[in-house]
A and B are shown apart, each in its own frame.
Chain A
């Protein structure tokens, strides 16, 4: 069985500051890891994903995440927050490319001027 834990349901950052969203997972096999973003009343959009290979993955909108197997983590970062980054962010894990996605509880990001 696999599970996803996102630390912090709400994160407030100043515009221009670092964005750090934490995600830890438990999985019995090497996982497929994803970060999705959701804007109000919309579906989810993929930010980035890790399947195999390089552990530092870059995504859209300046986001990146690093897969750390020893820490079972896949934290999401962005060096400089923009007002448009205000949204809900979900970390998700799957055991393989066919498996079901298990989502974390989500982190609401608020960006202040």
Chain B
């Protein structure tokens, strides 16, 4: 199946700093990527839909200025957590659909990035 890669897998930062997480589709082009947030022992919460070459679409309750999403190419989307605070600590997961997935609806997920804000 298609491969989606995230980097970094783990990051620890100080409160007030910004952290960037990258999501890459390695063997296919993804015009759309999705960013999810997962709290411990909880389900995935969709944060935003990242669209190549245009602005991301954020879900209700997600702060656009807090979570900056850039989808500058067909294989790369980035999530930047700005002025991070301890409550932003979480597991962030990106996903995308390849050509077949646009027919079947299947999403391919990255490995996830665990952010810890001290």
Option from A34, A46, A97, A108 in Cβ contact (under 8 Å) with B41: A108
Q: Does B102 interact with chain A (Cβ within 8 Å)? A: yes
Determine if B105 and A41 form an interchain contact, defined as CB atoms under 8 angstroms apart: no
- Report Cα–Cα, A98/B34, bound state, in Å: 12
B interface residues, how many (CB within 8 angstroms): 27
Neighbouring B residues of A90 by C-beta, 8 Å: 43-44
Q: Measured between C-beta atoms, what is the minimum distance from B100 to chain A in Å? A: 10
Q: Does A11 interact with chain B (Cβ within 8 Å)? A: no
Q: Does B67 interact with chain A (Cβ within 8 Å)? A: no
Determine if A34 and B111 form an interchain contact, defined as CB atoms under 8 angstroms apart: no
Q: Does B25 interact with chain A (Cβ within 8 Å)? A: no
Q: Measured between C-beta atoms, what is the minimum distance from B18 to chain A in Å? A: 23
Determine if B49 and A100 form an interchain contact, defined as CB atoms under 8 angstroms apart: yes
Neighbouring A residues of B41 by C-beta, 8 Å: 106, 108
